[in-house]
Structure 1
Amino acid sequence: MTNYLESMPHGDIQEVFKDVFFVTGTMKNEFFGSMWQFSRNMTVVKEGNNLTIINSVRLNDESLKELEKLGKIVNVVRIGDMHGVDDPFYVHKYGATFWALPDMKVQDSIKIDKALVEGGEMPFSDCSLFVFKTVKRPECILRLDREGGIMIACDSLQNWIEPDQFFDEETIPTMQNMNFFKPANLGLAWLHESQPQADDFVRLKEIPFKHALCGHGYPLKDNAQEEYHKTFNEIFKV
């Protein structure tokens, strides 16, 4: 019997673009020797009647019914090595195909059904893959070829502008002091854990996009490319 992580507080399912949905929920984890509580996001892409879950966040029963009304959950995709606690719940409940980078460690209760490979099969059409090559922990970004280009990221790209209702009072000042709350930022914990190098961001700058839906923070619409390019230059001088 698999022990799934219980559903934690989360917001409503929002349609941020046509057939692209976004939910903000809660995560609790230990970082740097203390427990943190903060927000995290799930993105759901609809193609026909099929739904693909990216950066899974377990929803409560009421919201699961709302999700099921949108279509059939056929894919669960893990794009970041520091996420994935809710993947087994969706894979087992819906019999979904599980996608991940081939070198990503996953829970014992699930296996990678299809590996994410640049130029290879994707979980839905109009989708391409960017893989970070220099990192110590596997990470990638999906580019959805809709609305001028939507980057679906996990921890690499973030857009935490301010704390929201899913933070606890103890975590907020810690993250404020560490400068987590900055528009179009790179994940600070991800930078620490994965130690990416400038070469990845030189390649990333070659990919055109307008919007970004990240594992943390608000959706960034219309000027995402310009804002992230400024951040790449600020951190990596590229």
Structure 2
Amino acid sequence: MTYPEPLPHGELTQVLDNIYLVTGSVAMKVPHPKWGPLTMTFSRNMLVIKQGSDLILINSVRLNDKGIAQLDELGDVKHVIRLAAFHGFDDPYYKETFGATLWSVDSPYVRGFNKSSMSHQYYKADRRLKEGSTLPIDGATYFEFSSCTPKEGLILLERDEGVLISGDSMQNWPKTDKYFNWVAKMMMPRMGFIGPCRFGVGWLDLAKPDKKELIEKASLNYSTLLPAHGNPVFAKARERFIESAHKIQE
């Protein structure tokens, strides 16, 4: 199998005890009425949880040789968890290179960002997750946005007053960062992506979750949010996302 090449990314950095984060990038084509298809590049995060000598990767980002060496020093990649249905193209690399077990939200691996592609799977997970599924992480609970299509997952860690890990659903992009190209810096603020503690506007538009479920998930017992997109929120994340959920129009 041919894997996507590593895209620009930063250093693997410890954000909490035994939890590490690396910010990488992703590129996608977007239409423009005047200039035609444009490539929009923006940031995405991978989390690494260290459990003994085992590593669990969440929202995978393929790392370059230096990054892989950092992972090897940290431990052994044993599990990969996919929370967002529109993520996952780096999962096959980690599964097949490291022999990791692949866990996924209950949505197929597809290319593109539209529902018409849902029938064209390019990969399969070892284990499909459902609300309340057992995870390979101590003290962790899996939650699912079930009112939307495709589904979307969350992981809640019972530590540090609650640590919530999200995919595309809950984001915290106060401003653009160095992984945004000029197209993304121009378009994404206008599209509503850029702002603190908000539900992803692209995800809301494509997946169409029920507002009641947004409020329900925002009200889980957590203080910290570790998102796939944007900066970690280390305090009062719950209050801020409850407020964000209530502001969303039906």
Question: CA-to-partner distance for each residue in 1:73-100, whole Å, 9 max, x for gaps?
Answer: 0001111011111001111110000001
**Hey, what does 1:63 align to over in structure 2?**
67
SS of structure 2 residue aligned to 1:65: helix
**Hey, what does 1:164 align to over in structure 2?**
177
Q: 1:184 aligns with which of 197, 206, 221?
A: 197
Whether the 8 Å contact between 1:102 and 1:112 is mirrored in structure 2 is: no
- 1:87 matches 2:72: no
1:104-123 correspondence to structure 2 within 5 Å? 104-105=108-109, 110-123=123-136
Cα distance in 2 between the residues matched to 1:138 and 1:13: 29
**Hey, what does 1:5 align to over in structure 2?**
4
Identity among equivalent positions (%) equals 33
1:140-219 correspondence to structure 2 within 5 Å? 140-219=153-232
Q: Bigger CA drift: 106-115 or 187-196?
A: 106-115
**Hey, what does 2:116 align to over in structure 1?**
none
Shift of 1:103: 3.6
Whether the 8 Å contact between 2:24 and 2:179 is mirrored in structure 1 is: yes
Question: CA-to-partner distance for each residue in 1:57-87, whole Å, 9 max, x for gaps?
Answer: 0111011111111111000111101111100
Shift of 1:211: 0.5
Shift of 1:125: 1.4
**Count of residues in correspondence between the two structures:** 236
- Specify every segment of 5 or more residues in structure 1 that has no aligned partner in the other structure, as ranges: none
Whether the 8 Å contact between 1:104 and 1:138 is mirrored in structure 2 is: no
> What is the TM-score with the length of structure 2 in the denominator?
0.89
Cα distance in 2 between the residues matched to 1:178 and 1:128: 32
SS of structure 1 residue aligned to 2:55: strand
**Hey, what does 1:28 align to over in structure 2?**
27
Whether the 8 Å contact between 2:39 and 2:183 is mirrored in structure 1 is: no
Cα distance in 1 between the residues matched to 2:215 and 2:234: 22
Q: 1:49 aligns with which of 48, 53, 56?
A: 53
SS of structure 2 residue aligned to 1:184: strand
Shift of 1:111: 2.6
SS of structure 2 residue aligned to 1:159: strand
> What is the TM-score with the length of structure 1 in the denominator?
0.94
Shift of 1:195: 0.7
Q: Bigger CA drift: 117-126 or 157-166?
A: 117-126
Instruction: Give, as a single letter, the amino acid of the residue that structure 1 aligns with 2:50.
Output: K
Q: 1:93 to 1:203 in 2, by over 3 A?
A: same
Shift of 1:109: 6.4
SS of structure 2 residue aligned to 1:189: helix
